[in-house]
Amino acid sequence: MNPAPQVKKEAKRTAIHGRGNGFSLIELLIVVAIILIIAAIALPNLAKSRMAAHEASAVNSIRTYTSANVTYSALCPAVGYPATLADLGPGGGACAGGANLVDPILGVAAPTKAGYAFTYVPTSGDGMTNTNYTVNGNPVAVGVTGQRYFFCNETGVIRYNNAVVATVTDSPL
């Protein structure tokens, strides 16, 4: 038997299928480079999308506070608007100690949700009843958790500012 035909068959297989199984180092490096390029394009867009989601959550939270304040004022006319945001949160459902109008995340003294911190200041018109209030939503880390600052008062109009804490004179949403 002649061994030459078997050697020709092996040479033919190697020529058709390459050096063997697997990928070369150059092929792997090209794939890694392509993945890194795609990641470099996608990550900034991901950060912008996340910041937009935080801002939308902040606006929704301020709407929740506005609705809860109106409800609280109707339930407790002798008090008017609540003295603190904790009065809107979990509790016995009365005018003091928690009216169960907002969730446990928003119904605390100094709430923070989705990268925004909320502050609340009620004011009394007659010395006894809170007739006005302001709610501010400020990003915890500007440019990371959010860019815009939000404001609302008893009028229910939500306002924003791109650079500093929003006030009643800023543009409405």
- Proportion of the chain above pLDDT 90, given as a percent: 64
Q: What is the pTM of this model?
A: 0.75
pLDDT at 27 over 70: yes
Helix (H) or strand (E) holding 122: strand 116-124
Domain ranges of the chain: 49-172
Residue type, 168: V
| Cβ atoms within 10 Å of 107's Cβ, excluding its own | 24
**Structural contact between residues 150 and 137, judged by C-beta atoms closer than 8 angstroms:** yes
What ranges in the chain are assigned the alpha helix state H? 4-17, 25-75
Q: Is 172's pLDDT higher than 60? A: yes
Q: Are 89 and 83 in contact (CB under 8 A)?
A: no
Smallest Cα–Cα separation from 118: which of 150, 153, 80?
Answer: 150
Mean pLDDT in residue range 111-129: 91
Pairwise pLDDT comparison (54 vs 40), residue with the higher score: 54
How many Å apart are CA 159 and CA 153, to the nearest integer? 9
Which of 39-43, 60-64, 116-120 is predicted with the least confidence, judged by mean pLDDT? 39-43
pLDDT at 95 over 90: no
Return the DSSP state at 143: T
Q: What is the mean pLDDT of residues 136-142?
A: 96
Cβ atoms within 10 Å of 122's Cβ, excluding its own = 21
